[in-house]
Amino acid sequence: MQKLTLHQLSKRFGNTTAVDSVSLTVEAGSFVGVIGRSGAGKSTLLRMINRLNEPSAGSVEFDGTVVTDLQGPALRQWRRNCAMVFQQFNLVGRLDVLTNVLMGRLTTVPTWRALLTLWSDADKLAALEALDRFGMADFAAQRCDQLSGGQQQRVAICRALVQQPKIILADEPIASLDPRNTQVVMDALRSINRELGITVLCNLHALDVARNYCDRLVGMSAGRVVFDGAPDALTEELVHTLYGMEATEVTDLASPGHGAGVVLPFTRHVHSA
């Protein structure tokens, strides 16, 4: 099985330690939520896995390959296999939805073809199938800067999906979304995980969302892992350690009056291809 393993992974910025000796094993096909307050090291951890940030110490392995040793074409292949979904979407607003999704194919086509928008029929079909899967096919010709935040995040997920990744790293994918779009985006990630078997590692602030969607939670505080287990095993004491407040207060802050994070009564929004 293609599992992801972190060995004593650390990252220092000057005198500040953002991630401190984190060791984890993520099994293939799992949906893991990384939780904790802002500044706990969650984003830095994901960026080291994808090699957007270089570790100060430790290593990352995937299926027996030491990811932290990869360079050149091998590193580009890893970034194809390990797709990122960002909080701020990272789309090109002036380009249409289909072109933004096709950008996920850049690791598999020559640069000159991408610059000239000479996408193959197979690439276009893969992009349209991804958009259709998440109810966005009708927006294929629309500029991305004309979409809502939830729609843009679904486009970003489609772009990640056409990379044909083995892992998706989602860095606070719902932080800027309202409750309804929070559910739509999290349903999309769960669909990818359950129906396609792609491993999802997702940073989340909202505790109730993490408990509802993730098979396993990894709680971080001050760069260290202080909890690793099933959502039901997360006690009030551990929540206080992670967030500095009671579990009910964390849930209250994720309510509609305080931003995204509350899970609405379940209604299926994700459309299968």
Q: pLDDT tens digits for 31-43?
A: 999 999 889 999 9
Per-residue model confidence (pLDDT) at position 256? 40
- Counted residue by residue, the chain has a size of 273
Per-residue model confidence (pLDDT) at position 10? 97
Residue 85 parent element (H or E):
strand 82-85
Domain boundaries, the chain: 4-258
Q: In what order do the strands lie in the sheet with 199-204?
A: 82-85, 167-171, 199-204, 31-35, 216-221, 224-229
Regions of the chain where pLDDT drops below 50: 250-273
* Cα 176 from chain centroid (whole Å): 14
Per-residue model confidence (pLDDT) at position 116? 56
CATH number attached to the domain at 4-258: 3.40.50.300
